[in-house]
């Protein structure tokens, strides 16, 4: 049995699928605060969370024809938001890596070699993270870069705590294999 809120949501989604901008505006005002808070937990940056929130709703609008009102469209919106946040985390890591490399070019003393090795290892590590399967990479990024604990990750990803633990074990094992030549 559908609640009144479910019926309202289904009506909004059906109107959105018919390109109704007013229905989308209502949908945005209804769900924007929750998506913003969700993304703020990822980024810890209000401006970045605002930008990603806008991008999530744009992505939802652009894919409105694919929306199935009998499925959980809200979960789909949050999945878009989560993927944007993960992509942003990876982009930030790349930027930091480039900044580290640029700072090495300006230095030419003995400690530069140790710093170069560190940057080279970080580059290899980042490439290894990017090669992880999507679910492993998302779990790893949420844990190690965004600071979420396993229970929070399970809630965000909509999986069990055991699945998160398994994905982290798989990610760490895979990273060790990718980085074996640098570790030994």
In a domain, 18, yes or no: yes
- The answer, yes or no, to whether residue 2 has pLDDT greater than 80, is no
In a domain, 69, yes or no: yes
- Give the chain's domain count: 1
In a domain, 110, yes or no: no
Say how far residue 24 (Cα) sits from the centre of its chain: 24
Domain holding 71, by residue range, is 1-92
pTM listed for this prediction: 0.55
Which conformational region is residue 128 in: left (phi greater than 0), alpha (psi within -120 to 50 degrees), or beta?
alpha
- The answer, yes or no, to whether residue 151 has pLDDT greater than 80, is yes
pLDDT-wise least confident of 89-93, 105-109, 111-115, 139-143: 105-109
Digit-coded pLDDT (tens) for 156-166: 788 899 999 99
In a domain, 144, yes or no: no
Among 74, 4, 66, CA closest to 34: 74
Separation between Cα atoms, residue 53 and residue 35, nearest integer Å:
6
User: Which one-letter DSSP state was computed for residue 66?
Assistant: G
In a domain, 145, yes or no: no
Q: What is the pLDDT of residue 161?
A: 93
Q: What is the pLDDT of residue 137?
A: 84
Digit-coded pLDDT (tens) for 11-70: 889 999 999 999 999 999 988 998 998 888 878 889 999 999 999 999 999 999 888 766
In a domain, 78, yes or no: yes
In a domain, 180, yes or no: no
């Amino acid at each position: 049995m559908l609640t009144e809120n479910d019926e309202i949501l289904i009506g909004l989604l059906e109107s959105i699928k018919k390109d109704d901008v007013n229905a989308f505006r209502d949908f945005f005002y209804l769900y924007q605060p929750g998506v913003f808070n969700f993304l703020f937990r990822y980024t810890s940056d209000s401006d970045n969370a605002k930008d990603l929130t806008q991008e999530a709703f744009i992505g939802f609008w652009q894919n409105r024809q694919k929306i199935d009102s009998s499925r959980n469209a809200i979960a789909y919106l949050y999945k878009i938001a989560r993927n944007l946040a993960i992509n942003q985390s990876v982009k930030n890591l790349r930027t930091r890596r480039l900044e580290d490399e640029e700072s090495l070019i300006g230095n030419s003393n003995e400690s530069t070699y140790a710093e170069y090795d560190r940057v080279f290892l970080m580059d290899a590590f980042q490439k290894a993270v990017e090669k992880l399967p999507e679910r492993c990479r998302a779990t790893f990024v949420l844990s190690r870069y965004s600071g979420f604990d396993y229970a929070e990750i399970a809630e965000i990803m909509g999986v069990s705590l055991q699945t998160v633990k398994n994905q982290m074990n798989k990610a760490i094992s895979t990273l060790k294999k990718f980085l074996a030549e640098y570790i030994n």
